[in-house]
Amino acid sequence: MQFGVFSVSDITRDPVTGTTPSEAERIQGAIAIAKKTEEVGLDVYAIGEHHNPPFFSSSPTTLLAAIAGQTERIVLSTATTLITTNDPVRLAEEYAMLQHVSNGRMDLMLGRGNTAPVYPWFGQDIRQGLPLALEHYNLLHRLWREDVVDWEGRFRTPLQGFTSTPRPLDDVPPFVWHGSIRTPEIAEQAAYYGDGFFANNIFWPKEHYIRLIEFYRQRFAHYGHGTPEQAIVGLGGQAFIAKRSQDAIRAFRPYFDEAPVYGNGPRMEDFMAGTPLSVGSPQEVIDKTLTFRESFGDYQRQLFLVDHAGLPLGTVLDQLELLGGEVVPVLRREMAKNRPESVPDAPTHASLVAAKYGDAEPRQPRPRPNRGDNVTGASPYEDSDPAVQARLPLVG
Amino acid sequence: MSTTRRLVIVSGGTSDPSSTRMLADRIAQRAVIRAAEAGFDLELSVVELRPLAADLASAQVTGFAPATVQEAIDRLAQADAVVVATPVYKAGISGLVKSFVDVLDQDLLIATPVVLAATAGTARHALVVDEQLRSLFAYLRALPTPTSVFAASDDWGSSSLSERIDRAATELVVLIEAGVRDRMREASWHRYQHTFGGAASAPGFDAVDLDSDLMRLAAGGR
Q: Give the span between the Cα atoms of A124 and B122, in whole angstroms.
A: 49
How many CB pairs (< 8 A) connect A and B? 69
What amino acid occupies position A242? A
Asked if B218's CB is within 8 angstroms of A192's CB, the reply is yes
Asked if B219's CB is within 8 angstroms of A189's CB, the reply is yes
From the list B57, B196, B214, the residue facing A212 with the nearest CB is B196
Q: Could you give the domains of chain A?
A: 2-357 (3.20.20.30)
Residue A314 has pLDDT above 60, yes or no: yes
**Mind spelling out the 3-state secondary structure of chain B?**
CCCEEEEEEEECCCCCCCHHHHHHHHHHHHHHHHHHHHCCEEEEEEEECHHHHHHHHHHHHHCCCCHHHHHHHHHHHCCCEEEEEEEEECCEECHHHHHHHHCCCCCCCCCCEEEEEEEECCHHHCCHHHHHHHHHHHHCCCEECCCCEEEEHHHHHCHHHHHHHHHHHHHHHHHHHCCHHHHHHHHHHHHCCCCCCCCCCCCCCCCCCCCCHHHHHHCCCC
The three-state secondary structure class of A108 is: strand
Confirm or reject contact between B210 and chain A (CB < 8 A): yes
CATH code of the domain covering residue B81: 3.40.50.360
Asked if B66's CB is within 8 angstroms of A185's CB, the reply is no
Reported confidence tier of residue B62, pLDDT bands at 50, 70, 90: confident
**Of A123-137, A256-270, A357-371, B119-133, minimum mean pLDDT range:** A256-270
Summarised one tens digit per residue, pLDDT across range A326-337 is: 999 999 999 999
Task: Residue B136: give the domain boundaries.
Answer: 4-218
Reported confidence tier of residue A204, pLDDT bands at 50, 70, 90: confident
- Chosen from A114, A130, A134, A192 to mutate, greatest number of chain B CBs within 10 A: A134
Query: Distance, in angstroms, between A70 CA and closest chain B CA?
Result: 37
- Chosen from A178, A185, A203 to mutate, greatest number of chain B CBs within 10 A: A185
Which candidate, A23, A10, A107, places its Cα nearest to that of A61? A107
Residue B8 has pLDDT above 50, yes or no: yes
Residues in chain B within 8 Å Cβ distance of A200: none
In total, how many domains does chain B have? 1
Query: Distance, in angstroms, between A337 CA and closest chain B CA?
Result: 31
Residue B30 has pLDDT above 60, yes or no: yes
Asked if B57's CB is within 8 angstroms of A185's CB, the reply is no
Asked if A205's CB is within 8 angstroms of B197's CB, the reply is no
More confident residue, A380 or A178: A178
Residue B222 has pLDDT above 80, yes or no: no
Residue A74 has pLDDT above 70, yes or no: yes
Residue A396 has pLDDT above 70, yes or no: no
Summarised one tens digit per residue, pLDDT across range A36-66 is: 999 999 999 999 999 999 999 999 999 999 9
Q: Quick one: what percent of chain A has pLDDT higher than 90?
A: 84
Residue A389's pLDDT is what?
A: 63
From the list B64, B208, B220, the residue facing A204 with the nearest CB is B64
